[in-house]
Homo-oligomer: A and B are copies of this chain.
Amino acid sequence: MLQIDAMSRTPVYEQIIGQMERFVVSGVLSPGERVPSVRNLSVTLGINPNTIQKAYTELGARGVIYTVPGKGYFVSEGAKGAICENGRAKISDFRALVTELAEYGLEKETLVAEIGKIYNEKGGNNAI
């Protein structure tokens, strides 16, 4: 289910969070559904249980999953909304990056074109 890139500079626990959130947003995981147990995922991915635990704790804090002691972790009702809220918070990262790229002399048109490409791949045929 999850795929971890050990060579990536992104911490493993952040990779887990990101992929889990994507599964929720895309509907692969639905509210109320149970997610793999810490132990299970630890074995499956060959990753330290502490790392899985950290990811799940963070997902819990973000309102994406909740824990039922003795039963496991489940996707929250408002998971999708909570994730998108967090996504909006990343706009500030976006601004910072664009500002930096602008300083490096990249044209606005280049960036807009990149965005167009990405959204077309995903969404179908929305023209710019």
Contacts and interface: CB of A to CB of B under 8 A. Distances in A.
B25 A103 contact: yes
A95 B112 contact: no
A66 to B, nearest CB: 6
Interface of A: 6-7, 9, 11, 18, 21-22, 25-26, 61, 66, 68-71, 83-84, 86-88, 90-91, 93-95, 97-106, 108, 110-112, 114-116, 118-119, 122, 126
Interface of A, secondary structure class, is helix
Given A102-B122, A103-B26, A122-B102, A114 B87 contact: no
B115 A88 contact: no
Contacts of A66: 7
